[in-house]
Structure 1
Amino acid sequence: MSTPDLNLLLTLDVLLGEGSVARAALRLNLSPSAMSRALSRLRQATGDPLLVRAGRGLVPTPRALELRQQVGPLVEQAQAALRPAEQIDLRQLVRTFTLRSRDGFVENFGPALVNRLRAEAPGVRVHFVPKLDRDSKPLREASVDLETAVIDADTSPELRTRALFRDRFIGVVRSDHPLSRGPVSLDHYLAGQHILVSHQGHDHSRMDDTLQALGRQRQIVTLVSGFSAALALARGSDLIALVPERHTSNLREGLHSFRLPVPLPELTISLLWHPRMEADPAHRWLRQCVHELCSDTTDTLPGGHHR
């Protein structure tokens, strides 16, 4: 059985609406002969004459009247499907999104995002899940809608990205730590004991590579998988944590933060999503919300002063 030509649906809808080959041809920018050929094909496809002559005009058959009730809504739905998505009614939107990120992101930006969603789209929920690796499979498989990351050579080129904010690493110690009493020199920094944050279990970081290039080394006494754990250890011990400043702003309350004696390159935290979600209006709105909430570039350690 041959596949029907769905283009004929539009032709049939116009023919039945106009009741005239000439008027239907004019409306579809076709010649009368081309429209007559289209009518012949429709008669063959449906097994019905559809329009028959009555005097000088054409009248629909019972089958044509039946089809007119069916074809009109079909054509309208098809045309709507092929138009760009219209602006959504956020108050009526009911949807759940999943956002994957490193620890610290939810603690720092989550409350503001949740409050904004509740105010603008009360039917929208967001699920925050931890980012344990850099695999983009969750985005490809749609188990995750958005995630945050630092773009590098390992980032899948198929993903869409948008920069959220720039961040930098800082040192953090408990409020009454010896390093909280003044500017931190490299010697003072290296005299302490350090916490290494390693998401992949590596025993060195960018700081260790930088120090090695200077012929120096820090003493790492413990390794953790996230920034929250590093700050918890720093809060209750003499250990020194190394964390991104903006990413951990709320987590560092009550702790002393300081500029590193050996500055590290800044990071750009970006938002990632799969291209199939690019034009989805609800997804696009959520991306804009996250960007606006994260794009504040306030320097929390201005002028070299310590927090």
Structure 2
Amino acid sequence: MKAIVLGSDDRFALATAEAPTPGPGEVLIRVRYAGLQWGDVLAVNGHFPLPRPFVPGFEAAGDIVAVGEGVDAARIGRPVTALTASGAFAEFVTAPAVLAFPAEDLDPRLAAAFGWATPTAYDLVNTVTRVRPGDRVLIHAALGGVGSLTAQFAKAAGAARIVGVGGGGTEQAGYAAGLGYDRLISRTDFPDALADERFDVILDPVGGPARLANLDRLAPHGRLAVYGNMATFEPVQINANDLLMTGASVLAYNSNLLSRTHPERLAAGAAEALRLITDRQVRIDISAEYELAEVPTAIQRLAAGGTRGKTVIRIG
């Protein structure tokens, strides 16, 4: 099969590799499209313990062509959108059967764009922070894969005001309004542009100084959800006594860990998110599409920032 391989020299190569075999509880998927996400940037930068050389890619859409032990053979031939441990930038990939979701009613491009971002966004709003009617919500990386979805899920949950951080300009503001944002401010204007405004829920994949600024913007009993470190991996010190005085909470969410410890929980949120996407109550914007050989360029552009919505890779 054809695949993009990241070698020990940190270089990508379009290579021919042996197709994988599904193990117990797994399915083998003939990939039509793959999704690109921030985890691909982290993998390239060595933040995931994946021995090199390896085939990157964590989101696949295609058809099941074989199943491993314990998986219903009736699933063969069915289209799915799947969350993988790696390997999606190839013509074939294996995935846990529990994380390969039926996608008969989705275009394969949209199925690939569903990826990790959609269940992550759904869980952040509905399971982690439990956004309630009337809540004021602040979302960082507002126009990215997760951010563009969390705004929509928060709106559906009854949020009274949704402010996004990331991007700027009239065009970006108009795009953000279409996602449910009441206001969009640029990263360089955060937090000064907020003045004294406080929020019941803040979603933070950024880290560093922004995380400390977020704590200062929490309303009494506010919830800060931490789910990434896009800016820096330097630790931030948080005083539990300060949280106690305001009733605030800091909540961490790690979808990759959840997929390994309680995959059924991740699958439950994904199923509900998939229903909302299929029913067109929530939309996924695909902003760019690349060929398999263009994966290095796609990852480089994602890492540089400024992208919005989802990027997909056409495999076959």
TM-score normalised over the length of structure 1:
0.25
Task: Flag the structure with larger Rg.
Answer: 1
More strand by share: 2
More helix by share: 1
